[in-house]
Structure 1
Amino acid sequence: MRKTPTPSAPPRRGRLRRTLLALASALSLAAAGASAAQASAPPPPSGWTQVFVDDFDGPANTGVNTSNWQYATGTSYPGGPANWGTGEVETMTNSTNNVALDGNGNLRITPRRDSAGNWTSGRIETNRTDFQPPSGGKLRVEGRIQMPNVTGVAAEGYWPAFWMLGAPFRGNYHNWPSIGELDIMENVQGLNRVWSTMHCGTNPGGPCNESTGIGNSTACPNTTCQSGFHTYSMEWDRSVSPEAIRFYVDGNNYHTVTANQVDATTWANATNHGFFIILNVAMGGGFPDAFGGGLDGDTQPGNPMVVDYVQVLSAGGGTTPPPTGNRDAYSAIQAESYDGQTGVSTESTSDSGGGQNIGGLANGDWALYRGVNFGSTAATQFNARVASGAPSGVSGLVEVRLDSRTNPPLGSFAIGNTGGWQSWRTVPANISGVTGTHDVYLTFTSGQSQEFVNVNWFNFGR
């Protein structure tokens, strides 16, 4: 969620809330503040690999590609802080009235106000939560965006943003800012400025000066942020020491955060996991209020944030970052704290201790937990807290794999109906002995297509 920054400081975007030396062609276009969409994202520079892209091509007045994006709707995450934790007033929808392709290679996120004065807008997030640099390498996240083209009194309350949240936030919604937030582009009130910020640590105060965070801002070059497209990017560099996260507009590096600016634990908690990407336009809230607020009848609805493309590039290092040992194998690992997943949903649990469980689990689904430390004495047992309301005859395997989803399982157990989707039991399984630090995958395998299990937590034993 975002919190309320001071007017002289960068915003707090958060849920509580590219990078750089881009291709010469991309930079020249951005520097010119071109006002039309490109045909597609620029090809990766030499040494870089494209790991995600959306050019927002498609027929006019259609929604986003849901294989890439999911809609966040309403006024909060399920069970999360009200008003997205920031005080913003809009209701987010999945309507093409708020979130739609324009047929010319752009995405438009458009705030609307009805006759009763109620605001709606749009917020989309990548399904993927695993964006992070490889060990010893770099990650670049970039988007070519035109901010809502409105200024002055008519722009009061506008808050467009392009940003990222740490994967452990998804499904928890109460662990901000410790899990990290990287704001690549934020703007308020139609001002000709772009803010970038890293949020981390504790709130309020702490090593990252929350809820303001560690940030900076600059004016958009050549054309204003509102009157033209600009390329906003973040480069996360693990090839240097100290590790660095750099923020750019049109190739101009105007803000850098390095690991030695905070203590090692704060940095590790904020960065030793994947991230997901968010695009949204909020109305009102703490950040606009810090610069005068004024969201009222004079504010002009219908001005979209226009997104030409979003892409993610990776360079150098190995294929995945090494596990960092930040999870204890022998303590309960909350299932909703995954670093990546496919097919997983979260919900409130009635199990002892409350919180959330993961559910909707069926054949082929999986969840990733990075950096599980087993120590030097081998773990030989796996325990999981599970429940199932699967129909008679439907069951499946809960499997444990290390470091790759394609590696053979260390062990598994079968589970069928336990008496209901919130009827919990702890099920043990023997596993091949394991020591050291590993990424752990829970994989779910069944001969049927139906959902067959929920998981609240798991751990290992000797």
Structure 2
Amino acid sequence: MRSLKALGAAVVAVGVVALAIPLSSIGQASQASEPGTPAGWTKVWSDDFTGSAGSRINTDDWIYDIGHSYPGGAPNWGTGEIAYHTDSTQNVYQDGNGNLAIKPIRDGSGNWTSGRIETTRSDFQPPSGGVLRVESRIQMPNVTGAAAQGIWPAFWMLGEPFRGNYWNWPGIGEIDIMENVNGANQVWATLHCGTSPGGPCNETTGIGGTIQGCPGSSCQSSFHTYAMEWDRSTSPQQLRFYVDDVLYHTVRSDQVDATTWNNATDHGFFIILNVAIGGGWPGSPTASTASGVPMLVDYVAVYSKGGGSDPTDPPDPTDPPEPGNRDAYSTIQAESYDAQSGTQTETTSDAGGGQDVGFLSNGDWLRYDGVNFGSSAAHTFSARVASGAPSGVSGLVEVRLDDVNSTPVGSFSVANTGGWQSWRTVPGAISDVTGTHTVYLRFTSGQPADFVNINWFTFSR
């Protein structure tokens, strides 16, 4: 949320929409419980809001923000919003149907109250070299048009160093996973960082993107899942934003200088849920603005996967190889990479199950350290691949040794195999290879579109 922005800020619209791996359901009624942990992920923390009707939130997990500001912080939460936030069950409560409700209310004198809560934990960040996913299934206040003027629901995060300081925004980082204003059938996502006004992150606007319309049903009429994936396994690092697993906005660490990125992300974060009334972005409510229409939150969950490298030292394709710990002549699972760039893992339907590495396009790569070819030269390699690429889209699977930019020692071409889970084993010749090497699979194409998935590969003499 625009926690400390100057009034009158706008959000930059980015009209790129792409499909992501399904992790949750789309726009249905509130479910009885949070979904199971997605395959390949580990649950870090969650709240399913299963309390009785009218009950308070669990204060072991959540903190109520009270009033018009943090103690000694910017007035009106830095945004110009006008509602007084309370810990009253009139404004913040569990509804007995598995939801948290945050309800803005106008009294007879025209004064507004609402709710804002934040997690007790402030250590949410990806594991070193891994990925963090923060998601919530939410129905925005179900009101549109003139009745929604000034209503501003949000699901977002602030950097842990903000706690107790309250004047170091935006340098400590703000990640807005879901924002909406004035009942628009639209979602905004933003990273705030750097200095304000202006600076490398274009404050007070930030580095933002939007999607027009929630998938399947409007954002106000149904529950939708809003998620952010913070990926430290890629170089550059990425923040990816989704609605119902539709990827619509990505922020990369190379969009700003390294110091700005590290100041904004090299620490934990806490999660915030609130419904603001008024402020510089939505404008003031009017007599027509509906009172008593809540935002409903089915659950909030945090997941992680991967890890093992220093997040401040992203994978470097020129790093030296590790000691030989892989047999070149055994099956090397694609998802067992030591580093990668531009890829994602997914569940495979291929024989043996497990995962494959997908979404591979021009310039992406996978790195496998310490591959031991022995003293007798390998002459061929083969890989298990699938492709649902459209007509005219194809590319090469290349083998490169010790440097991602070295000359390929071998390659083969892949085009559509009949679908992204229609697998075949494709062989290719390589120049004689002996000894122990870092092996790179690099994916090269004359088109920008994804052209191949890979499940495993191996070498032979």
Give yes or no for the alignment of 1:212 onto 2:199: no
From 218, 225, 231, give the equivalent of 1:237. 231
Matched with 2:262 is 268
From 121, 144, 152, give the equivalent of 1:159. 152
Deviation of 1:72 (Å): 0.4
Is the alpha carbon distance of 1:238 and 1:322 closer, same or farther for their aligned partners in structure 2, counting shifts above 3 Å? Answer: closer
After TM superposition, the runs of 4+ consecutive aligned structure 1 residues lying more than 3 A away are 4-8, 19-22, 320-324
Give yes or no for the alignment of 1:310 onto 2:303: no
Indicate if the aligned counterparts of 1:192 and 1:220 stay in contact, CA closer than 8 A. yes
Is the alpha carbon distance of 1:2 and 1:148 closer, same or farther for their aligned partners in structure 2, counting shifts above 3 Å? Answer: farther
From 115, 123, 127, give the equivalent of 2:116. 123
Q: Deviations over 1:270-300 (max 9, x none)?
A: 00000000000000001103xxx4x121111
Matched with 2:48 is 55
From 279, 284, 293, give the equivalent of 2:273. 279
Distance 1:208 1:116 in 2: 40
Local SS of the residue matching 1:84: helix
Indicate if the aligned counterparts of 2:135 and 2:225 stay in contact, CA closer than 8 A. yes
Q: Deviations over 1:7-64 (max 9, x none)?
A: 46369xxxxxxx96342xx2xx31xx11x21122211222210011100001000111
Matched with 2:287 is 297
Indicate if the aligned counterparts of 2:151 and 2:183 stay in contact, CA closer than 8 A. yes
Q: Which amino acid aligns with 2:307?
A: G
Q: Which amino acid aligns with 2:287?
A: G
Give yes or no for the alignment of 1:9 onto 2:12: yes
Distance 1:302 1:241 in 2: 46
Is the alpha carbon distance of 1:317 and 1:79 closer, same or farther for their aligned partners in structure 2, counting shifts above 3 Å? Answer: same
Indicate if the aligned counterparts of 2:137 and 2:224 stay in contact, CA closer than 8 A. yes
From 5, 19, 30, give the equivalent of 1:37. 30
Matched with 2:74 is 81
Is the alpha carbon distance of 1:179 and 1:20 closer, same or farther for their aligned partners in structure 2, counting shifts above 3 Å? Answer: farther
Indicate if the aligned counterparts of 1:20 and 1:234 stay in contact, CA closer than 8 A. no
Deviation of 1:183 (Å): 0.1
Is the alpha carbon distance of 1:206 and 1:243 closer, same or farther for their aligned partners in structure 2, counting shifts above 3 Å? Answer: same
Indicate if the aligned counterparts of 1:20 and 1:252 stay in contact, CA closer than 8 A. yes
From 250, 259, 284, give the equivalent of 1:256. 250
Give yes or no for the alignment of 1:190 onto 2:180: no
Matched with 1:139 is 132
Distance 2:203 2:258 in 1: 17
Indicate if the aligned counterparts of 2:11 and 2:206 stay in contact, CA closer than 8 A. no
Deviation of 1:91 (Å): 0.2
Deviation of 1:321 (Å): 6.0
Q: Deviations over 1:68-126 (max 9, x none)?
A: 10100100000000000000000000000000000000000000011111100000000
Distance 1:281 1:213 in 2: 20
Q: Which amino acid aligns with 1:242?
A: P
Q: Which amino acid aligns with 1:232?
A: Y
Q: Which amino acid aligns with 1:305?
A: M
Indicate if the aligned counterparts of 2:11 and 2:188 stay in contact, CA closer than 8 A. no
Indicate if the aligned counterparts of 1:58 and 1:103 stay in contact, CA closer than 8 A. yes
Structure 2 unaligned blocks of 5 or more: 314-461
Q: Which amino acid aligns with 1:69?
A: W
Distance 2:85 2:187 in 1: 23
Local SS of the residue matching 1:287: coil
Is the alpha carbon distance of 1:252 and 1:322 closer, same or farther for their aligned partners in structure 2, counting shifts above 3 Å? Answer: closer
Distance 2:123 2:146 in 1: 40
TM-score calculated relative to the size of structure 2: 0.64
Indicate if the aligned counterparts of 1:10 and 1:212 stay in contact, CA closer than 8 A. no
Indicate if the aligned counterparts of 1:246 and 1:255 stay in contact, CA closer than 8 A. yes
Local SS of the residue matching 2:282: helix
Structure 1 unaligned blocks of 5 or more: 12-18, 325-462
Q: Which amino acid aligns with 1:255?
A: H
Is the alpha carbon distance of 1:20 and 1:50 closer, same or farther for their aligned partners in structure 2, counting shifts above 3 Å? Answer: farther
Distance 2:102 2:265 in 1: 29
Matched with 1:21 is 21
Matched with 1:332 is none
Q: Which amino acid aligns with 1:233?
A: A
Local SS of the residue matching 1:231: strand
Indicate if the aligned counterparts of 1:107 and 1:308 stay in contact, CA closer than 8 A. yes
Local SS of the residue matching 1:184: strand
Local SS of the residue matching 1:288: coil
Deviation of 1:168 (Å): 0.1
Give yes or no for the alignment of 1:110 onto 2:103: yes
Distance 2:30 2:74 in 1: 36
Larger Rg: 2
Q: Deviations over 1:361-383 (max 9, x none)?
A: xxxxxxxxxxxxxxxxxxxxxxx
Local SS of the residue matching 1:95: coil
Local SS of the residue matching 2:88: coil
Distance 1:166 1:40 in 2: 29
Distance 1:172 1:22 in 2: 39
Indicate if the aligned counterparts of 2:4 and 2:79 stay in contact, CA closer than 8 A. yes
Distance 2:64 2:21 in 1: 31
Indicate if the aligned counterparts of 1:10 and 1:213 stay in contact, CA closer than 8 A. no
Q: Deviations over 1:194-215 (max 9, x none)?
A: 0000000000000000000000
Matched with 1:340 is none
Distance 2:53 2:59 in 1: 16
